Amino acid sequence: KVKSQLEEKEGKTFDVFTAVEFKTQVVAGTNYFIKVHVGNDEFMHLRVFKSLPQESKPLTLHSYQGSKSKHDELAYF
């Protein structure tokens, strides 16, 4: 659901977009920190926010980090 948001921010499309790892952080909603394979040996770390159910808001790409490798540790940011 956030692939199109990332593509818009990066100004390119991703043929490969596969989540390989994630962590969660409970706030007033939930932050998901997701390691995503975007092709070749490239990975990105995404921070996606999911609001509380009663707010009925869509998932939001809050921030991201590019130029990551498969072995980079997924950390809160």
pLDDT tens sequence across 28-71: 999 999 999 998 889 999 999 999 988 888 899 999 999 898 99
| Averaged pLDDT, 7-30 | 93
Compute the distance between CA of residue 33 and CA of residue 48 in angstroms, rounded to an integer.
6
Contact 31, 62 (CB under 8 A): yes
Counting Cα atoms < 13 Å in the Cβ hemisphere of 71 gives 0
What pLDDT sits at residue 8? Answer: 92
> Which H helix or E strand runs over 36?
strand 29-39
Residue 19 belongs to what H/E stretch?
strand 18-27
pTM of the model: 0.86
Q: What is the mean pLDDT of residues 12-40?
A: 93
